[in-house]
Amino acid sequence: MATATGIHHRTYRAELRLRHTKAEWFRLALVIVLLLVVPYALNTYWLGIANSILIAVVGAVGLNILVGFTGQISLGQGGFLAVGAYTSAILSTRAGLPVPLAIIVAILVTAFIGALFGLPALRLKGLYLAIATLASQEIIMFVVRRWGFLTEGKGYIEVPRLPFIERETFELQWYWILLPITFVAVLMARNVFRTSLGRSFMAVRDQDIAAEAIGVNITRAKVTAFALSSGFVGLSGALSAYYTETVTWERFTLDVSVLYLAMIIVGGLGSIAGSVYGAIFMMLLPALLTEVGQKAGDSIPFITDQLPAIKNAIFGIAIITFLLIEPRGLDRIWSRMKDYVRFWPFRY
Amino acid sequence: MLGRAYVHSLNSSTVPVGSPILKISDIELRFGGVVALHDVGFTVTQGHIHAVIGPNGAGKSSLLNCVSGLYHPQKGKAVLHTGDGAVTHELTKLPPHRIARLGVARSFQNIELFSHLTVLENLMLGRHTHMKHGVLQSLLWFGPARNQELSHRGIVEEVIDLLSLQPFRHKPVGSLAYGIQKRVELGRALVLQPSLLLLDEPMAGMNSEEKEDMARYVLDVHELAGVTVILIEHDMAVVMDISDRVSVLDFGRLIADGTPDEVKANSAVIEAYLGAEEH
Ligand SMILES: Nc1ncnc2c1ncn2[C@@H]1O[C@H](COP(=O)(O)OP(=O)(O)O)[C@@H](O)[C@H]1O
Ligand SMILES: [Mg+2]
């Protein structure tokens, strides 16, 4: 538990809280106010991006539990998102399950499938595990593309709009649905890593032999990490099914797995807050680049022609720059800034 | 330090003092063509500090790894006694985490800490076998998960106090000095409330002052809790000073086993080890 230096606690209970200083509470209050004001300050387009970010945050947190906290690399993110999306969509459109129930079942199913595809991790590490998870990605993609039963032969699933969502206030209503769900999901992930379960994941990551020697059942820890991680990813996939109102395999390809890996690397491996920052960064950057590109394109037509290529190049350069400047990600940059302010004007 | 009243016992073994707690017999361990251990067997008595000595590559660490389940000998066994001494467990047939659950705790020759975690988190991990790890309760935090965190802090704080680790509580262990890391590793083994403590060269690579401190801590733990210790150590002065019994390995064979005085007088030992040092 990273407690701010120079803070002394009178009870263990106080020490275990997530926030200790007035500054930390103040920042939380500021974020909450911001989150409450955002939907009224943004237009529909940007609110739509905010909603995509909220969904991506849940998926990034899930992936970070596995990759950043447990040290098990995964290229199967896209596949697990697909499992969540297809399961919830099929259950609510064809089995007639109420949406919340369909989402919960989708979480459990994805967790189960995740645990299953996590079994190779009991034997494989590093690059070999990456290849094994790549295989699980491709197997899931193969199934959702070729198994006609899933889409009743149409190739995609149309998900009816939630009954209480109006066309004019679509994005706003979704914002108020997604915000609390994402908030609770992030908080729960944070909780895991102040308990013995989360610590056992990090022990496996840091030193698996010592973890075994102090009594961590590595098999159990790894399978649980895959299941827990996939549960979050399944939730993210299920939410995207109802939000986008269609489920097609194109949205769950290997690119998506790589994009999510980039999110948690840029944000900070092994950091819940980092997953959030990374998701925001990776979802916001393309939108901002488009915006800037269009403005510039008005005066220089060349930019409009080449916009997609330029966008990709800048996107790539931005990520590399980040990694070179601070390999531990945005979360690390942020905590250095906080320390700087807290100790100002004294530098240690 | 010893004057302070600690609430938690650091020894979970109930085997009567003087009875055997660990019987190692006929262990043979090979790595391809290399015979790391050849018919090694001896008995460790409850309440003893039992030293295992021998030149580099003699098979000391390998022997400890067999006892804690990390290596699987081709032949022979290590049997742990629990309860009143009548209950036996064949350690050589159990996976490491089950052996830890029996109270066998250890440190490693090359520090094997969880380097990104803080001292406190490392020590809390030492409590792993005593804690529950339900997914739902962990997600919720409030309730059982938090109560558990609080209730296990008691013993962890006592060990932090015993080993003078207070200033480093919230520091990531990777950032600490070598000597401190060695102490954290001892602490992580202690909070498990061991029935048997295996220490692989806890003083290796230390200067004489740090060595003295570490020897003091090991003795404190032994006196305070009466926990049985198997100690691998190179420094002969330390070994002869603090151990009740000494086993000597040379090229994977047990060449002597007895009290420090007996071992010192043993001609095979003098030739293989003690004598070699003088030349
Ligand atoms: N994991 C291993 N793989 C191959 N050989 C090993 C392994 N562990 C130990 N050995 C060999 O076993 C012998 C004993 O090593 P070790 O137990 O580390 O000795 P000590 O701890 O007494 O210095 C050495 O020859 C060493 O090379
Ligand atoms: Mg050794």
CATH number, domain of B254, equals 3.40.50.300
The answer to whether position A26 is within a domain reads no
Range of the domain at A92: 42-343
Pocket of ligand 1 (CB under 6 A): B 31, 34, 36, 54, 56-62
Same domain (yes/no): B32, B98: yes
Measured CA to CA, the distance from residue A158 to residue A141 in angstroms comes to 18
Return residues 223-262 of A near B (CB < 8 Å). 224, 227-228
Which ligand is in closest contact with the Cα of B108? 2
Q: Tally DSSP H helices, then E strands, for chain B.
A: 11, 10
Structure tokens at B2: 């010893």
CATH of the domain at A335: 1.10.3470
What is the reported pLDDT for A297?
74
Residues with C-beta atoms within 5 A of ion ligand 2: B 61, 109
Same domain (yes/no): B78, B198: yes
Same domain (yes/no): B204, B176: no
Q: Which of B158, B177, B193 is the last residue of a domain?
A: B193
Encode chain A (348 residues) as per-residue pLDDT tens digits: 445 555 677 788 888 888 878 888 888 899 999 999 999 999 999 999 999 999 999 999 999 999 999 999 999 999 999 999 999 999 999 999 999 999 999 999 999 999 999 999 988 988 899 999 999 999 999 999 999 888 888 888 999 999 898 888 999 999 999 999 999 999 999 999 999 999 999 999 999 999 999 999 999 999 999 999 999 999 999 999 999 999 999 999 999 999 999 999 999 999 999 999 999 999 998 888 888 888 877 777 777 777 788 888 887 887 788 778 877 788 888 877 777 776 666 554
> ipTM score of the complex?
0.91
The answer to whether position B9 is within a domain reads no
Q: Which of B193, B220, B246 is the last residue of a domain?
A: B193
Interface test with B, best of A214, A223, A230, A339 (most B CBs within 10 A): A214
The answer to whether position B91 is within a domain reads yes
Same domain (yes/no): B84, B201: yes
Structure tokens at A36: 């409450």
Task: For residue B273, name the pLDDT band (cuts at 50, 70, 90).
Answer: low
The answer to whether position B167 is within a domain reads yes
Alpha-helical (H) ranges within chain B are 60-67, 96-101, 119-126, 135-140, 144-162, 178-190, 208-225, 236-242, 260-265, 267-269, 275-278
Q: Which of B168, B193, B218 is the last residue of a domain?
A: B193
The answer to whether position A20 is within a domain reads no
The answer to whether position A12 is within a domain reads no
Task: For residue B279, name the pLDDT band (cuts at 50, 70, 90).
Answer: very low
The answer to whether position B109 is within a domain reads no
Q: Is A214 on the interface with B (CB under 8 A)?
A: yes
Same domain (yes/no): B25, B59: yes
The answer to whether position B266 is within a domain reads yes
Strand partners, B43: B23
The answer to whether position B138 is within a domain reads yes
Overall domain count for chain A: 1
B112 to chain A, closest Cα gap in Å: 6
What is the reported pLDDT for A312?
81
Range of the domain at B73: 18-103+194-274
Predicted model pTM: 0.92
The answer to whether position A37 is within a domain reads no
The answer to whether position B11 is within a domain reads no
Same domain (yes/no): B215, B176: no
- Find all residues with CB under 8 Å of A225, minimum gap 6, and list them: A65, A66, A69, A70, A72, A118, A201, A204
Enumerate the residues of chain A whose CB falls inside 8 A of the CB of residue B140.
188, 191
The answer to whether position B141 is within a domain reads yes
Overall domain count for chain B: 2
